[in-house]
Chain A
Amino acid sequence: MTFGQLVRKNVIRQKRLYLGYVASCSVSVMTLFLFMNVAYNPAVVHGFMPSAARVIMLASGWIVGLFSVFFIFYFHAAMLRLRGQEFGVLQVLGTTPKQLGRMVMLESVLADGVALGCGLLLGLLFTKLFLLILGDLMALPSEIPFAAPARSWLLTCVVFILIFAFEAYLMASRIRRRGPKELIVGKRSRQKPPRPSILLSLLGILLLALGYYLAIARSIQTLASLIGLLVIIALVIAGTYLVYTQGLVWLLMYLRRRVQSGVSVLIVSRLAHRMKDHARALTVISTLSAVVMTASASQLGLLSVLKQGEAIREPFAVMTWTNSAHPLALAPRQITQKLQAAGAGVTMQLTGTALEGSLQQPSAAKGTRSVTVVSASTFEDFVDAIRSHGADRGASYPNVPHLKPGHALYVASFPLMTPTQFHSTPTTLRVGTADEEPLVVDGQINERTFNFGTTAVSDYVLIVSDPDFHQLAAKAPKDSVWAVHGWMASDRARASSAFGTQLPSSQVSVVEPTDVSTLRLFSTMIFAGMFISLMMLLACGNTIYFRLLNNQAEDRVQFRALRRTGITHRELGRVLTVEFSVLFFLPFLLAVLHTIAAVIDYRHVLMVPGRLWPMCLAVMLVYFGFMIIYFVIARFTYPRQLRIDQPNRTR
């Protein structure tokens, strides 16, 4: 047996230990390679899909790279710590520090090489799938051709070889510096009983509370700068760590004095002694979980909110604005025919007249605001149409109160956010080049009646009484009078494809259903996010896995001793179930709290109505499902690995 053989055997026979590490590395190599393959795909580079999608791919790739550095170091260090005894024995037997360093280096090269190879292979396999799904999601006219450009190979390899080489070198020199005595004796040294500080426990809770407070109550102010965001993150991470190291240990020590019976004593004391060792891993898992859940919930939630808002932002399938100076190529009758021909199913067509005006703002906000002036009856016609077509929407539209001559109502069309400025406020209105007319604005409505964005005049609407409107219209210059036409259609997707580029978007709003238009924007991000989430999920699992391996030798001795003193398998099972639940679900619980705070914060920033929580709950449930799978696997394989009833094994 030669030294090289020894190294090879060591890696191959420690495959259980290396498996998690290599799997995590492979997935990160795969993810980066995948993103690079898409970003540098010649078809994508030459504008096959929106350039924003390409930027998202590149950014996601770099996030993966950055994150990989962090967890590759963390996992490899954890793995080597587990093998302290082995390295100690080797040194006692006369392995020189140089040889030991070289051994670790060789092992890393072997493991990292396998990870790189597997990752590239997996990346290649998934690239095709990725491109297919992406093309489908973004409703691209044809398939994106498969490519694995040299540039993405090069970038992926260079990035990971750099990470791996640096990591292997660092680990090797770290092991080289440690003496055999620490390595062997280290595991024998007794753990000190935990001494939690009540002050630090409270500080932990305080930090968490402060982080949550800044996120929830002072959301906009805090998030105005990047520093605010970083402060919140730092507060929450520090708070989480203190809650684990101090608060939880304090609670366990308190329970230890109370609980006197059965296996509970064992559970509580074991947890109390180990919590300090667990704390770092638990903090990492909580943070990662919170990041994954928040990111998924906010992305998917935004999509769902936008979908919910679709009918609100675009009440009409098609809407046109025309006047003498801005005629359309198609007359309203022709538009109806085209829609019918496309099978859109026109259910209603409305026509109204509007004036282009400018309203003097109340003195607080100086200047004038351009407004679309309509008569009360026209406004009511449009509202009635919306009410009769959107069952759930209709109820929220307020009735327009009867307007006396010289009085008006101001409409800030959703999603414009304007504080209510008018409470029976006297002001003036000018239509076109005509004189200013005095009038009183009674109040404000925050609903939308005309389609978003394309309103030729302004998204702010002023409702005046019918007689007043006729007077204003009579005085108005011709090019300030607009005809507005709205069509309701039963099939919006078909309605959106009825006209090519015949109609200018400045005057015409043809609504594309959110499924198509928004998905195009978000699908790339969501899909890339899914891969990153998967990677982080794997990293979480790995962190717990190393934590468990760390205790295995100690558990073996303890459980064997307990078996001898007459503990049953069921009781040992209970000990493990409780301990594993703490490891798996406690960080999840804290992560849920973090996520809730983050989503509330997000809700404030988003400023668009719609429900975020169902999606958030769904994301949490899916994540919880993954945690349960991890838990079940770990809980049922662990006792087997301990080999409690094989008395031969002593270590």
Chain B
Amino acid sequence: MAVLTANGLVKIYGSEPGALVHALNGIDLAIELGEFVAIMGPSGSGKTTLLNILAGLDKPSGGQLVIDGEPVQALSGDALALFRRRKLGFVFQDFNLLDTLTLAENVALPLALDRRPAREVRKLVEGVMARFGLEESQGRYPYEVSGGQQQRTAVARAIVHQPALVLADEPTGNLDSASARTLLETFATLHAEGSTTILMVTHDPIAASYSDRIVFIQDGKVYSRLEREGTREAFFQEILHTLSILEVSGVDIRPTRP
């Protein structure tokens, strides 16, 4: 069953005929339940625009987008917010935890917004934080813990309400390699348990190698697809190979954001 189906997504910025920017030029994408998909592409390829559209933060200029059976572009205002609240989880590059709330309260946020009963909220939050090794830090504030712990908290916040799809925007971008590895293993575990569908935008081949499938984007179009068949190490080599071909063909795919 497809969790996400996108057909011919187009996004054009600007209104004057001479100065139009085609950020997306017709993207087709389908993600099945329980899949872990990575999107790679050089800077300016339209990755962030795509993610914003998938998250309902931006409207496409054309094409169809259906997530978990709902046509996203038909939604607006409160309905769109409710859709995001129940169907989506979001992990940012810079975590975006609220400084005024403790880690546990940050995780509880999506449930509190949905007005779930307090007892249920507490049970779910404790469960998910224990799973991520955060039970010791529940009462601490974001600025009191490491970047790795902050990002794991952000992932906990993204999955606590069991969304249909988790969107991650360069989730390892601000982490050191050890924390990045822990985080990616968390994603891999979530994926292995089969319950969570993850879409991750990244420029990091190591991060991408944890996924099932990679979609390469260039100039707002799908340029190439790569599916994992063997071990992660073998997949990593394949990614490097694909990237080197892209580079030979003149595409710069170096890190876009430090």
Within 8 A of A (CB), among B45-67: 52, 55, 57-58
User: How many residues of chain B have a CB within 8 Å of chain A?
Assistant: 43
Most buried by B among A1, A95, A96: A1
Q: A1-B108, A648-B145, A650-B174 are in contact. Are A92 and B100 (CB under 8 A)?
A: no
Asked if A85 is an interface residue, CB under 8 A from chain B, the answer is: yes
| Interface membership of chain A positions 100-114, coded 1 if the CB is closer than 8 angstroms to chain B and 0 otherwise | 000000000000000
Q: Say whether A333 faces chain B, with CB atoms less than 8 Å apart.
A: no
Q: Which residues of chain B (77-102) have a CB below 8 Å from chain A?
A: 77-78, 81-86, 88, 90, 92, 94-101
Chain A nearest CB: distance from B182 CB in Å?
Answer: 16
Indicate if the CB atoms of B110 and A1 lie closer than 8 Å.
no
* Cβ of B112 under 8 Å from chain A: yes
Contact B55 A92 (CB under 8 A): yes
Pair B147/A94 contact, Cβ less than 8 Å: no
Contact among B57, B81, B99, B105 for A1, CB-based, below 8 A? B105
User: Given the complex of chains A and B, what is the CA–CA distance between A93 and B82 in angstroms?
Assistant: 9
Q: Does A65 contact B (CB under 8 A)?
A: no
0/1 string, A1-40, CB within 8 A of B gives 1: 1110110011001100000000000000000000000000
Chain A residue numbers with a CB within 8 Å of B113 are: 3, 90, 93-95, 99
- Give the one of A10, A184, A650 with max B CB within 10 A: A650
> Given A1-B108, A93-B109, is A181 in contact with B58 using a C-beta cutoff of 8 Å?
yes
B95 cross-chain contacts in A, Cβ below 8 A: 650-651
Check A89 against B143 for contact (C-beta < 8 Å). no
In whole Å, how far is B244's beta carbon from the nearest beta carbon of chain A? 31
| Complex-state Cα separation, A615 to B228, whole angstroms | 83
Chain A residues close to B by CB (< 8 Å): 1-3, 5-6, 9-10, 13-14, 85-86, 88-99, 179-181, 184, 643, 646, 648-651
CA distance A13 to B101 in the complex (A): 8
State whether A94 and B86 are in contact (beta carbons under 8 Å apart), knowing that A179-B57, A181-B57 are contacts in the complex. Answer: yes
- Enumerate chain B residues within 8 angstroms of A649, measured Cβ to Cβ: 142-143
Flag if B52 contacts A14 (CB, 8 Å): no
Nearest-neighbour CB distance to chain B for A16, whole angstroms, equals 10
- Chain B residues within 8 Å of A179, by CB: 57
Question: Could you name 13 residue pairs across A and B whose Cβ atoms are closer than 8 Å?
Answer: A1-B105, A2-B115, A3-B115, A9-B101, A91-B81, A93-B90, A94-B82, A94-B84, A94-B113, A180-B57, A181-B57, A643-B143, A650-B94
Nearest 4 CB-CB pairings of A with B: A94-B85, A96-B81, A13-B100, A649-B143
The answer to whether B100 touches A650, judged by C-beta atoms less than 8 angstroms apart, is no
B57 neighbours in A (Cβ, 8 Å)? 92, 179-181
Task: Pick the contact of A85: B96, B105, B145, B174 (CB < 8 A).
Answer: B96
Chain B nearest CB from A97 CB (Å) reads 6
A3 to B84 alpha-carbon distance, docked (Å): 17
Q: Which residue of B is nearest A14, CB measured?
A: B100
Once the chains bind, are A646 and B81 in contact (CB under 8 Å)? no
Q: Write out the residue numbers on chain B whose beta carbons fall within 8 Å of the beta carbon of A184.
A: 92, 96
Q: CB of B121 within 8 A of chain A?
A: yes
- Asked if B7 is an interface residue, CB under 8 A from chain A, the answer is no
Q: How far is the CA of A499 from the CA of B152 in the complex (A)?
A: 89
B55 to chain A, nearest CB (A): 7
Looking at the assembled complex, report how far the CB atom of A19 sits from the nearest CB atom of chain B, in whole angstroms: 14
B112 closest partner in A (C-beta): A1
Which of the residues A5, A93, A646 comes within 8 Å of B143, measured between beta carbons? Answer: A646
Residue of chain B at shortest CB distance from A13: B100
CB of B178 within 8 Å of the partner chain? no
Q: Tell me which of A13, A96, A180, A650 contacts B147 (CB under 8 A).
A: A650
Interface residues of B in 96-140 (CB under 8 A from A): 96-101, 105, 108-115, 118, 121
CA–CA, A90 and B112, complex, Å: 11
| Chain A, residue nearest B97 (CB) | A89
**B118 vs chain A, min Cβ distance (A):** 6
Q: Complex Cα distance A91/B86, Å? A: 13
Contacts A1-B112, A2-B112, A643-B143 known; A86 to B84 CB distance under 8 Å?
Answer: no
Q: Are B146 and A93 in contact (CB under 8 A)?
A: no
Distance A96 CA – B76 CA, assembled complex (angstroms):
10
Q: A1-B112, A90-B109 are in contact. List 4 more A-B contacts (CB 8 A).
A: A1-B118, A3-B113, A93-B110, A648-B144
Q: How far is the CB of B173 from chain A (nearest CB, A)?
A: 11
A96 touches B109 (CB 8 A): no
| A97 and B96 contact, CB distance less than 8 A | no
Please state if A95 and B85 are interface contacts (CB–CB under 8 Å). yes
- Min Cβ gap A96→B in Å is 4
* C-alpha gap A171/B95 in the complex (Å): 27
- The answer to whether B94 touches A6 (Cβ under 8 A) is no
Q: Establish whether residues A92 and B143, one from each chain, have CB atoms under 8 Å apart when the complex forms.
A: no
Asked whether, in the complex, the Cβ of A96 is within 8 Å of the Cβ of B58, the reply is no
Which residues on A sit within 8 Å (CB–CB) of B144? 648
Residue B150 is within 8 A (CB to CB) of chain A in the complex: yes
Shortest distance between the CB of A156 and any CB in chain B (Å): 32
A486 to chain B, nearest CB (A): 76
Q: How far is the CB of B85 from chain A (nearest CB, A)?
A: 2
Contact of B118 among A2, A97, A650 (CB under 8 A): A2
Q: Please tell me if the beta carbons of B90 and A86 are within 8 angstroms of each other in the complex.
A: no
Given known A-B contacts A1-B118, A3-B112, A3-B115, A96 and B82 have beta carbons under 8 A apart: yes
Contacts of A89 in B (CB 8 A): 96-98
Kindly report which residue of chain A lies nearest to residue B145, judged by CB atoms. A648
- Docked complex Cα distance between A249 and B112 (Å): 47
Contacts of A650 in B (CB 8 A): 94-95, 147, 150, 174
Closest chain B residue to A5, Cβ basis: B112
Q: Which residues of chain B are near A1, meaning CB under 8 Å?
A: 105, 108, 111-112, 118, 121
Cα A96 to Cα B85 with chains together (Å): 9
Contacts of A6 in B (CB 8 A): 101, 105, 109, 112
Residues of A near B101 (CB, < 8 A) are 6, 9-10, 13
